[in-house]
Structure 1
Amino acid sequence: MPVSEERGYAENQARVAELKARATQIRRLNDEFRKGRVGGMVVITPGIRAFPPERLAKALQEVQAFTSFNESNDPYGEHDFGSIEVGHHRVFWKIDCYDKTLEFGSPNPTDPDVTRRVLTIMLAEEY
C-alpha cells in the first residue's frame, strides 16, 4: 500500500475511534440523565399529561428503565430515543441536547458544562 494510502487509512481509523468515543460519552450522559433526571429537564406532551397518575408514573418508570436499544432505534449508539407500550398506548421518548439557554443545539453534547438535556415523553401520534 502506498504511503499516502496508509496515511489516509490511519487518519480514517483515528476519526472512527474519535466518533466512537464521542458516542460512548453521549450515551453515558444520556443514560445518566434519563435514569436520574439530573442535568436537564423533562417535558411531557398533552397526551401524556392526560394519563391517570398511575399510568403516568408507569410511563416515567419505563422510560427510566428502558434498555431495549438496537441498531434500528439507536443507529448512532447515543441512547437518545425509545419506544414503549404503556397500557394500550405507544409512547416515544427523545433526548435532545441544547445549549445552557435552551436556544440552540449544544455546541458539545459530550460536555455537561455547556449542555442541557431535554427528555420529551410523548404519545407516538404526537411525534
Structure 2
Amino acid sequence: MAQYQCNTCGAEAEQEQGAAECCPLCAAGNVVNPKLQAAETAKANDAFRAQAPLGGHPVYQGRVVATRGVSAEGPEFVTRALLETAAFDNFTEDNDPYGDHSMGAVQVFGKIVWWKLDLYDADYRYGADEPLDHKNTRRVLTLLLPSEY
C-alpha cells in the first residue's frame, strides 16, 4: 500500500498499487506520495546546500541569508557556517522528521548555528506550489543562531 496526499485539498488516501491519478475527495490531479516527494526534496535540498558556498546550483535556484546574529560574528564565521552547512549529512529521525533535509545544526568556532531551507515560488513571495517543479521553486537557506528563533 502506498499513501498519497492531495496538494489541493489536503486529503490523504491509500492505494494498493500504482500511482493515484486524482484525489478521491476533490478530484484534483495534484496528488503526490509524501514519502517520495520528501525523498526527492531531500536530494534537491542537499544539492543546493552543497553548491551554496560555490555560488549556487545550476538547477536548484535560490539564495543564502544570514541573520543579524550570525552576521555580527564576522565574515570568517559566516563563511565557516556556510561551509559546515554545505557538508552537513547527519540526518536522523529526531532532526529530520519529514525526511526532506530542510533543517540542521552545525558547530562553528564553538557556537551552534542552525540552518533552515524554505521553498518559495519564483518571486519569493509565497510557498512553492510544487516543490519538485525546479523551474518555479526557489530555495532560501537561512543561517541563524538558536537565540534568534
Q: TM-score range by the shorter chain?
A: 0.7 to 0.9
* Cα drift, residue 102 of structure 1: 0.8
Equivalent residue, structure 2, for 1:79: 101
Out of 10, 26, 31, the position equivalent to 2:16 is 10
Percent identity of the aligned residues? Answer: 41
Q: Does the aligned pair in 1 maintain the 2:66–2:78 contact within 8 Å?
A: no
* Cα drift, residue 51 of structure 1: 1.5
* Cα drift, residue 55 of structure 1: 2.1
**How many residues are matched?**
118
CA separation in 2, counterparts of 1:44 and 1:122? 6
Q: Does 1:95 align with 2:110?
A: no
* Cα drift, residue 19 of structure 1: 2.0
CA separation in 2, counterparts of 1:41 and 1:61? 15
- TM-score by length of structure 2 reads 0.72
CA separation in 2, counterparts of 1:9 and 1:104? 31
- TM-score by length of structure 1 reads 0.84
Kindly indicate which of the two structures has a greater share of residues assigned to helix: 1
Cα deviations by residue, 1:64-85 (Å, 9 ceiling, x for unpaired): 0001100111011101000111
Q: Does 1:122 align with 2:144?
A: yes
* Cα drift, residue 9 of structure 1: 5.8
Identify unmatched segments of 5+ residues in structure 1: 1-7
Instruction: Give the secondary structure class of the aligned counterpart of 1:76.
Output: coil
Equivalent residue, structure 2, for 1:21: 36
Query: What RMSD in Å do the two structures reach over aligned CA positions?
Result: 1.9
Q: Would you identify which runs of 4 or more consecutive aligned residues in structure 1 move more than 3 Å?
A: none
CA separation in 1, counterparts of 2:15 and 2:141? 38
CA separation in 2, counterparts of 1:9 and 1:110? 22
